[in-house]
Chains A and B, each alone.
Chain A
Amino acid sequence: MDWTLLGQQIANGVVNGMNYVLISTGLTLVFGVLRVINFAHGEFYMLGAFLTYFAMSTLGIGYLPAVLVATVAVGALGILVNRLFFWPLRKEHEFTVLLSSLGLALLVTHGAELGFGHDPKYLNSPFTDDILEVGSIVLTQQRVLIFAAAVLVLAATYAAIRWTTFGRMMRATAQNPEGAALTGVDIRFVHTITFVLACGLAGLAGALVGPVAMIFPTVGSWAVLKGFIVVILGGLGSVPGALVGGLTLGVVEALAGGYVSLGFMEAIGYAIIILVLLWRPQGLFGSAAR
């Protein structure tokens, strides 16, 4: 057994997992508050990466300011998306909302293919070439940045949901929308901010991961599939579930990719879900749905 290799695989898995957590927290928040599965969530990840790329090339700013611009821009897009695609359908059947988000995903992907071209693009970051050594494990600074930024942002998000007035409004809406509305919670405002948060987190994930992967318009469907695995694993609507689910998926995938086969790595993610759901149908941290 090569322990250094194992440690390296686990470290890579944890970084990838943290990225999955960043993607799926938004998905799980939107589900928790609106009871909606957002198929278009991966598209915001894709937009985050592309906006960072264009902010750097057209505005001529550095990588970190570009990440900030992209995150804020994608978050702001959340207002529009909620207004046009989700708020008007809130009383419709869940299929209708699911399909509306699927339509939005197709619109954004095909629009991006037309606007940005099919060719993969490379996002330059000053941190991709420098490395950081911890013992015998080597990580690029970009990966350390992904991990650190994710921990920071997720901690802030969790604290906001837990301890602020807005967080309390959000949790009230998640538990009982009518009841929350009766006590004076502005449901529409809560929905909007939830979307801004969710889109911003997905956009940030795209902006951070862009430099370590190629970016192309259909990358969103990859991101949303990972997000689905994670939220089902952890339990839909649960933020701690997204954390545990994301890290588990990242590590298991890295180990499977390193020791079994890269090809079947994708299938392994789903195989874990099935095993977990056979044991706990509602996911690790979820409460029974319906």
Chain B
Amino acid sequence: MYERASAVDVYRQALPVIVVSLVAGLFAGTILGSEPMRAGIESVPGILVLSPAFLATRGGVYGSLGARLSSGLHQGVIEPRVTQDRRLSNAVVASFINGMVVSVFIAVVAFLVLWFLGGGGNLLQLVGIMVVAGLLSAILMLSVLVTVVFVGYRRGLDPDNIVGPLVTTLGDVFGVVFLLIAIYFVGLFI
């Protein structure tokens, strides 16, 4: 019976999943703690202010896309292949717009927070970094999410079980990587 499930059973079942995401988290943390990233944090005021919001909204945007895709597949209204289907393209376009709008919004709010805390900060620079990082993460997350969910579904995996771990793991690791790339890319121009 469910209620008899002892703490030890739950512990044993959950530990592997937690350890996998732990490794991903350590990887993200290692990039955050690496020499180039620390140099980037130091040179651009506001990176630490915006990074938690940036990482958290990746999960929100692409997690909801994943949830929509799996519901669509379960209901049979989305075919598990890339077609000209309106539902599929609407969901993908909507999450792309969500991701970009929110990224720019985060840059503006981070700038206001910096201003309020009395520190400097360059609005154009922060918006540029968020646009580049948001765009890179959109391209990666949309293509990987759609591919993995469709291929998984065709092979008999329940997309509900794949989407969550996939989004958090990819979002955290690549969120930090893209943030670093964006800092350097924008640094070339501003």
Q: Do A and B come from one complex?
A: no
Instruction: Give the B-binding residues of A (Cβ under 8 A).
Output: none
Name B's A-contacting residues (CB within 8 A): none
